[in-house]
Structure 1
Amino acid sequence: MILPVAAGLTAGLSLIIAIGAQNAFVLRQGLQRSHVALVVAVCALSDLVLIVLGVGGLGVAIERAPLLLEVVRWAGAAFLLGYAVLAAVRAIRGEHLDIPGAQEKRTWKAALGTCLALTWLNPHVYLDTVLLLGSLASSHGVDGRWWFAAGAGLGSIVWFSALGVGARFLAPVFRRRSAWRVLDGAIAVLMAALAVFLVI
């Protein structure tokens, strides 16, 4: 039991910690202290669902449906490019925590929609969480694979909670307009690069 859980935790964290669209969004929401609990819960629960689906065998089905992956790939690229443009606009305007009304611009519905899109329209989620973790879990046998899934799920919960809540400790740094410009500029470049990468 301990070995599969530890393996799942390690594998889950190694895949999720890499900075991506979802992590960048959680970090920004955490810095703004805007709907952090909602965003963290949605990211963690989405990961748990995807891990269970992958361990349950959905990965095999997805491998046999290349058209589905193609649709998700283009939709994800379009969304990431749109998000890159929004981040670039924020960087140019220099929005930061001290601007009146800056935190109110994103409603909980907008935060929820963006979070769901960054999670479920991202082909890397299916490749990493469903296919890769599903394959790794199968190496632990029929019973062990669910302990592996539990470890991977724990990794997601720990990471997103730490990222969302821990971001507030970086808030003093981000009181400066220049820091927000750098963050949003980096997010814009990252999102655009991911969009191009998905297309090519």
Structure 2
Amino acid sequence: MDSGLSGFFLSLSLIVAIGAQNAFVLKQGLKKHYVFWVCLVCALSDAVLIFAGIAGYGAAIAAYPEIETAARYGGALFLAIYGGKSFYSAFGTSHALEPEGEIPAALWKTLLTCLAFTWLNPHVYLDTVVLLGAVSVQYEDAARVQFGIGAITASFVFFFSLGFGARFLGPLFQRPIAWKILDGLIGLLMLFIAVSLVLA
């Protein structure tokens, strides 16, 4: 298989699983709050991490596990707090208005939250940086660049498809109860991931 396609499909397989970051992007897409900027920040963050892995920084992270440990506990704390907020929204908010009609949080607060979901996730270092970096080693210089471009392209395609594709689920979220269920599920997901990070 062409190195670019290999990078595309490997990267896609790593990010397509429903996780904390993807749940956040999905919810922003459903709310129609800063969707373009959230998708762009996620994709650009992945691009930086993929480039770092291909450039050889994956070996540095493997040599210094303290980086992964700090991200693991910091990420667990962040996810626990965000999960608590989701539960509060599910059980303590009326949801009388459709969320896309609500006044969104400030852009900078939304983007900081988005960055935290990306950079406080220890799996992003192990999967995106270490794994993609290790696989890229088998390719020569030009093919390795194509591999990286393919991997980065997959990230852009996925996040923008998830963020802007979420609006097609809009009819399902016309009723407040649907948002309560979504917030509850996101809260459970965040807390589950937080606990798994601490126990890892």
Give the TM-score normalised by structure 2. Answer: 0.94
Which residue in 2 is equivalent to 1:189? 188
Which residue in 2 is equivalent to 1:144? 143
Structure 1 range deviating more: 65-74 or 122-131: 65-74
Q: What letter matches 2:140 in structure 1?
A: G
How far apart in 1 are the matches of 2:156 and 2:67? 28
How far apart in 2 are the matches of 1:27 and 1:96? 18
Q: In structure 2, do the counterparts of structure 1 residues 21 and 100 end up closer, same or farther at CA, with 3 Å as the change threshold?
A: closer
Which residue in 2 is equivalent to 1:46? 45
Instruction: Report the number of matched residues.
Output: 199
Q: In structure 2, do the counterparts of structure 1 residues 95 and 168 end up closer, same or farther at CA, with 3 Å as the change threshold?
A: farther
Q: What letter matches 1:103 in structure 2?
A: E
Which residue in 2 is equivalent to 1:106? 105
Structure 1 range deviating more: 4-13 or 169-178: 169-178
Which residue in 2 is equivalent to 1:83? 82
How far apart in 2 are the matches of 1:95 and 1:170? 21
How far apart in 2 are the matches of 1:68 and 1:88? 30
- 3-state secondary structure, aligned to 2:6: helix
How far apart in 1 are the matches of 2:143 and 2:95? 47
- 3-state secondary structure, aligned to 1:79: helix
How far apart in 1 are the matches of 2:3 and 2:94? 45
Q: In structure 2, do the counterparts of structure 1 residues 142 and 64 end up closer, same or farther at CA, with 3 Å as the change threshold?
A: same
Q: CA RMSD in A?
A: 1.7
How far apart in 1 are the matches of 2:129 and 2:67? 14
User: After superposition, where does 1:23-62 map in structure 2 within 5 Å?
Assistant: 23-62=22-61
CA offset digits 1:143-178 (Å, max 9, x no partner): 312111110100000000101111111111111112
- 3-state secondary structure, aligned to 1:171: helix
Contact map agreement 1:96 1:174 (CA 8 A) in 2: no
Q: In structure 2, do the counterparts of structure 1 residues 114 and 100 end up closer, same or farther at CA, with 3 Å as the change threshold?
A: closer
Q: Tell me the CA shift for residue 96 of structure 1.
A: 4.4
Which residue in 2 is equivalent to 1:155? 154
* Structure 1 unmatched ranges of 5 or more: none
Q: In structure 2, do the counterparts of structure 1 residues 13 and 115 end up closer, same or farther at CA, with 3 Å as the change threshold?
A: same
Which residue in 2 is equivalent to 1:93? 92
Contact map agreement 1:96 1:175 (CA 8 A) in 2: no
Percent identical across equivalent pairs?
47
Q: What letter matches 1:87 in structure 2?
A: S
Q: In structure 2, do the counterparts of structure 1 residues 28 and 194 end up closer, same or farther at CA, with 3 Å as the change threshold?
A: same
